[in-house]
Copies of this chain bind each other. A is one copy, B any other.
Amino acid sequence: MSIADILDRKDVSWMDGSGPDSDIVISSRVRLARNLYKFPFPHLLNDTTGAEVMQQISQAVNRSKDKVIKGLELVTLDTLSALDRKILMEKHLISPEHAIASEPYRGLMVDKKGSLAVMINEEDHLRIQCLLSGLQLNQAYKYAQTVDDALEKLLDYAFSEKMGYLTACPTNVGTGMRASVMLHLPAMALANQISSVVQSITQVGLTVRGMYGEGTEAEGNLYQLSNQVTLGQTEEDIINNLWVITVQLATQERNLRERLQKEIKYQIEDKVMRSYGLLTNARLLTSAEALSLLSDVRMGIEMGILSPVKREVLNQLIVAINPSHVQKAAGRELEPRERDIKRAEIIKEKLLAS
């Protein structure tokens, strides 16, 4: 399995719905920001110095006898089409910023399942990310750490005894770690509890964002929860803090769903079934509407209202409805109206087949 396979496959590891608490926690992600000693940070690189960084890293990877490193495939962004980079972004393997870059000194390493993705020369020289299904923050951290340790043996990291890992942006200095979970909170949204939750979460040092990270809006009742602070806390503290809050929110969401099913059973079933009816019949669907309807259906599946549809199909669809995936499926560039038509076809087919 290679990057080409990942581009062709509908699912990568985090979508499979197999992880703990997958009814509410779609995925867990840990990323470590690392930089090479003696090189300028990526935003100051030129073609020559950028190529040197890339060479250092690729040589280290090639030289490594570590099993986990040997399982990684490295590509430079210039070898990927703009559409394919966006596909990788929509699958959450690279950032929106990395998706619009195409210099040969920028790159990506992935493992076979697509659960590990290392961006090269994005904001930092190395961004080691592990993305797993459900609530698996510890496992994600361990996997990222293994890769980090193996690379550290071969590369000179920029590290200060006093500050920790040095990074391009000061907000990442220290552990260089950001841990996040993607949560599906439709019942809380229905009960208008999101804004108060966001408020109290901010007070404990966490940030709430939309599905595609910083600057994106929360669509489809999907919220990305992450740590704000990287300095003065150990990795374990950061992960534990996020884990506790996540478990708490998942419990709250589950309790609310139960209450809804008791108190307004028919309205909830009606909402879910109407959304399913629209998704399986509409001829035109924008991604925003589709995401909102998929949110209802995903909740309906977890509540047993729509039992025949599988959770992983919903997780796949959350990604498959994005513009680049829709165009990849059509095999050509599409006008927005054509995308809405193709998107409706994809959704209908996937839902009715599952």
Which residues of B have CB within 8 Å of A341? 266
In the bound complex, do residue A273 and residue B283 qualify as a contact, i.e. CB atoms below 8 Å apart?
Answer: yes
Question: Which one of B267, B276, B280, B284 lies within 8 Å of A270 (CB-CB)?
Answer: B284
Interface size bracket, A side: 10 to 19
Which residues of B have CB within 8 Å of A337? 266
Which residues of B have CB within 8 Å of A273? 281-283
Main secondary structure of the interface of A (DSSP, over half): helix
Cα A42 to Cα B277 in complex, Å, equals 51
A229 contacts the other chain (CB 8 A): no
Which residues of B have CB within 8 Å of A279? 277
Cα A267 to Cα B283 in complex, Å, equals 8
In the bound complex, do residue A266 and residue B278 qualify as a contact, i.e. CB atoms below 8 Å apart?
Answer: no
In the bound complex, do residue B284 and residue A267 qualify as a contact, i.e. CB atoms below 8 Å apart?
Answer: yes
Question: Which one of B277, B280, B283 lies within 8 Å of A282 (CB-CB)?
Answer: B277
Could you name 15 residue pairs across A and B whose Cβ atoms are closer than 8 Å?
A266-B283, A266-B284, A266-B341, A267-B284, A269-B283, A270-B282, A270-B283, A270-B284, A273-B282, A274-B277, A274-B278, A274-B282, A277-B278, A277-B280, A277-B282
List 10 A-B pairs, minimum CB-CB distance, nearest first.
Answer: A277-B281, A277-B277, A270-B283, A273-B281, A270-B284, A269-B283, A274-B282, A277-B278, A273-B283, A266-B283
